[in-house]
Amino acid sequence: MSPSKSDKSSNGTKCVSSIWSRAITANSEWPDKDEFLDVIYWSRQVIGIILGIVWGLIPLKGFVALALSPG
């Protein structure tokens, strides 16, 4: 039986550290697909912020800037 939402939130940081350790472990199992999708969502957000800062600090121009832009 999977724990309810209130059971998950009562664990606090232990639950979060468990989720992130599974996220960086190869071939880990995700019994709760919502946790997996949350990790994917927040990972994309963090990567987007980091790349946005890097792209803002590096003044790229021309073809290189177009080739490296994400879209």
Residue pLDDT, tens place only, 6-52: 444 455 566 778 877 888 788 888 888 888 888 889 999 999 899 88
Q: Based on the number of CB atoms within 10 Å of its own CB, is 36 exposed (0-12), middle (13-18) or buried (19 or more)?
A: middle
DSSP 2: P
CA atoms within 13 A on the CB side of 9: 3
Taking residues 57-61, what's their average pLDDT? 80
Band the pLDDT of 68: cuts 50, 70, 90. Answer: confident
Q: What pTM does this model have?
A: 0.57
CA–CA separation, 69 and 60 (whole Å):
10
CA distance 61 to 48: 20
pLDDT of residue 6: 43
